[in-house]
Chains A and B, each alone.
Chain A
Amino acid sequence: MIKATVYVTIKQGVLDPQGNAVQGALHSMGFQEVSKARVGKYIELELGTDDFAEAENRVKAMCDKLLANTVIEDYRFELEATAQQGGSVNPAALKQQVSSGSSAALSEQVSEGNLEEGGQ
């Protein structure tokens, strides 16, 4: 089994009224250091497959077709092997991240800040 974690956010450069409202609220509470807030969606999918390449293709199709509207939103997702009964998995070896900007799988060391918000 593979668990996919999908993050959908409003594209950079597209107005995010919710993010702006959250930022305004944080400022009014005294958190002046917040220079930007973006609100997005978090979606968990459990996939009945152990094939990472297949999972990546399928989740990408799900994002492009339904989970994100690529006119206004970017997405990225992580694939992670869920623990098998009786077996042990090495999570570092079985985790990958994919962003909508480029379809290339990124290594598990890639931090969020390195993920480019790509154009569609």
Chain B
Amino acid sequence: MNFAVLVFPGSNCDIDCYKAVEDTIGQPVDYVWHTATDLSPYDCIIVPGGFSYGDYLRCGAIARFAPVMNEVVKAAEAGKFVFGICNGFQILTESGLLPGALLRNKTMKFRCHPVTLRVENNHTPFTSQYAQGETIDIPIAHGDGNYYCDAETLERLKANNQIVFRYTGENPNGSVDDIAGVCNENGNVLGMMPHPERAVHRLLGSEDGRRMFTSILQTWRERHGAAAIG
């Protein structure tokens, strides 16, 4: 299974994502520059955190028009896995691949600390190895993580089971319905504000993020193994 980690000017979690893929599942992984126009070799595209284009105008607003994003849209439409973390989540909402938007944290503070998440949907390619309702410890690091969508969209998210993670305990940013991560209707595009790639080893304070990567690999193998046998 081949992984791409996109790199925009200002990305700063690209190396963490790359190392997390190497460390957790040992699959081939490449950095892919924002000017790339071919993502066909890749099965999973990680849009990492950071401050793409200096967060100018709005977080993710300019990255969303980078050449590589056309390819990300095509990959998502083809059913490939697209995984946006933090700024990556912001870019995916700006591009319309995920509903809603990320506003400034309600407290106006940049929050950087571990949070407890509840796994609300373990039927996605990204969360299959968690138990439904399991609580996990994953760090956040953001100033604009206040997920917002209108009431109608929220109802649709609930009806389609697209809310994948919620904050338990304190909501660190004021997000609607304590949302920390959502997926698209097909479940192959996930965005989340917390950083699972920073929680892949006990030495980092938590290894609860490892299973996101192992889930992705397991799901991909199941789908492709089944296709090959059929």
Cα distance, A66 to B58, chains bound together (Å): 9
Write out, one digit per residue, whether chain B residues 80-105 have a CB within 8 A of any chain A CB (1) or not (0).
00000000000001100000110111
A17 on the B face (CB < 8 A): yes
Q: Is there contact, CB below 8 Å, between B105 and A69?
A: no
Write out, one digit per residue, whether chain A residues 63-79 have a CB within 8 A of any chain B CB (1) or not (0).
00011010110000000
Chain B nearest CB, measured from A26 CB (Å): 15
A92 on the B face (CB < 8 A): no
Q: Is there contact, CB below 8 Å, between A14 and B103?
A: yes
- Dominant SS among interface residues on chain B: loop
Given contacts A66-B65, A71-B149, contact A17 B103 (CB under 8 A): yes
Cα distance, A106 to B94, chains bound together (Å): 29
Chain B nearest CB, measured from A119 CB (Å): 9
Chain B nearest CB, measured from A1 CB (Å): 24
A107 on the B face (CB < 8 A): no
Among A17, A18, A72, contact of B101 (Cβ-Cβ < 8 Å): A72
B146 on the A face (CB < 8 A): yes
Q: Is there contact, CB below 8 Å, between B146 and A17?
A: yes
Q: Is there contact, CB below 8 Å, between A71 and B108?
A: no
Q: Is there contact, CB below 8 Å, between A71 and B100?
A: yes
Q: Is there contact, CB below 8 Å, between B65 and A21?
A: no
With both beta carbons as reference points, the residue of chain B lying nearest to A66 in the complex is identified as B61
Number of chain A interface residues as a range: 10 to 19
With both beta carbons as reference points, the residue of chain B lying nearest to A10 in the complex is identified as B103
Write out, one digit per residue, whether chain A residues 59-99 have a CB within 8 A of any chain B CB (1) or not (0).
00000001101011000000000000000000000000000
Q: Is there contact, CB below 8 Å, between B148 and A14?
A: yes
Given contacts A69-B58, A72-B148, contact A18 B106 (CB under 8 A): no
Write out, one digit per residue, whether chain A residues 29-49 have a CB within 8 A of any chain B CB (1) or not (0).
000000000000100000000
B37 on the A face (CB < 8 A): no
B57 on the A face (CB < 8 A): yes
Write out, one digit per residue, whether chain B residues 91-126 have a CB within 8 A of any chain A CB (1) or not (0).
001100000110111111000000000000000000
Could you list some 7 contacts between A and B, CB below 8 A? A15-B146, A17-B103, A17-B106, A17-B146, A66-B61, A66-B65, A72-B148
Q: Which residues of B contact A (CB under 8 A)?
A: 57-58, 61-62, 65, 93-94, 100-101, 103-108, 146, 148-150, 174
Given contacts A18-B108, A69-B61, A72-B148, 5 further A-B contacts (CB under 8 A): A15-B103, A15-B146, A66-B57, A71-B93, A71-B148
| 3 closest A-B pairs by CB | A71-B101, A72-B101, A17-B104
